[in-house]
Amino acid sequence: MFERADDVVERVIQHLRRPVAIDPGLDARVLREIAQAPPTNRRGWPLWSALAAAAVLGAILIARPWSRDETNRSDLLQFVFVAPRAASVSLVGDFNDWDPARSPMQTAQGVWATAVRLAPGRYRYAFLVNGVDWRADPGAPSARDDEFGTPSSVVTVGGRGS
């Protein structure tokens, strides 16, 4: 079938303009990296900007949305959630009786974090934003059986990691 040259190129262009799936976890990796290395303090950057970045570093040092320290077999997991406009974020799940008061997350410039020590097992959890808005963790597997109509995520702590 004959097709004009310009039509071929237009088809290529339309094809290339389609969205490309980029890992949403890239956002978290960027934030972790910049938290660990604040910008150079020049041209009027306030010094406390660098200090703020250092504070974030303290909050997300483990550097994964949730992760397990495999080296010392610790079951301390760090949960991180970015919500620049939130007034409060709580981590709620099977590990804290789904009680928003038990694991309030601390913020440093919109990056919310908290750490929870977990025994081996499979846990459902979610983030509660401003006390009303349920959010799943986009960096973790989703819980398929959301019987209560709001999204939840799943984290599994294994019994033999290495």
Tell me, residue by residue from 132 to 151, as one string, x for binding to other proteins by CB under 8 A and - for no binding.
--xxxxxx-xxxxx-xxxx-
The residue among 8 and 76 lying less far from other proteins, judged by its C-beta, is: 8
Binding other proteins by CB under 8 A: which of 71, 72, 87, 97? 97
Angle between helices 47-59 and 25-36 in degrees, nearest 10: 120
Q: How far is the CB of 123 from other proteins (least distance, A)?
A: 9
Q: Which pairs with CB-CB distance under 8 Å and at least 24 residues apart come from 22-30?
A: 24/138, 24/139, 25/65, 25/138, 25/139, 27/82, 28/64, 28/65, 28/80, 28/82, 28/139
Residues 101-130 that bind other proteins (CB under 8 A): 107-111, 119-122, 124, 127, 129
- 72 lies in the site for other proteins, by CB under 8 A: no
By the rule CB under 8 A, 86 interacts with other proteins: yes
